[in-house]
């Protein structure tokens, strides 16, 4: 099992993402392109990076100083909990409100109000759960 947000883990997420019509396909319909980073609260930089062009992940791996549109952070124990039980729409809103999931970069409020983006975003947490991690 790969270490959460490692190069190997991020590339497994890339494969899951690109194989998901509910995520890649729906985001392709709206020409969604973005650079997404993930990591842990308190770290100076994110751990992993995920580059999406027109819905498809074209690059994933270790964060190397790239400019990001989204930077999601949480404590490792919360990330691990969400791998076991992926966040849904309501639980994600609660996690953000309670500060368990923090967006260092990106407008969570605007994204969550747009179902064309919010639904695939929430479904991406289930993809993370399919990979697991340590």
pLDDT in tens, 69-124: 999 999 999 999 999 998 888 998 899 999 999 999 998 888 888 889 889 989 99
Q: Max alpha carbon distance in the chain (Å)? A: 35
For residue 105, the SS3 value is strand
Q: How many domains does the chain have?
A: 1
Distance CA 72, CA 82 (A): 13
In a domain, 82, yes or no: yes
For residue 119, give its domain range: 7-131
**pLDDT tens profile 10-64:** 999 999 999 999 999 999 999 999 999 999 999 999 999 999 999 999 999 999 9
CATH number of the structural domain spanning residue 47: 3.30.1050.10
In a domain, 47, yes or no: yes
């Amino acid at each position: 099992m790969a270490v959460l947000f490692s190069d190997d883990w991020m590339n497994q997420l890339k494969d899951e993402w690109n194989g998901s019509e509910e995520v890649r396909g729906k985001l392709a319909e709206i020409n969604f392109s973005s650079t997404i980073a993930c990591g842990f609260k308190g770290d100076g930089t994110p751990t992993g990076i995920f580059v999406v062009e027109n819905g498809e992940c074209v690059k994933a791996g270790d964060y190397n100083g790239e400019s990001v549109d989204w930077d999601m952070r949480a404590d490792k124990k919360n990330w691990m909990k969400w791998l076991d039980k992926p966040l849904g729409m309501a639980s994600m809103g609660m996690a953000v409100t309670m500060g368990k999931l923090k967006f260092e970069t990106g407008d969570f409020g605007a994204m969550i109000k747009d179902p064309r983006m919010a639904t695939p975003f929430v479904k991406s947490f289930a993809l993370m759960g399919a990979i697991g991690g340590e």
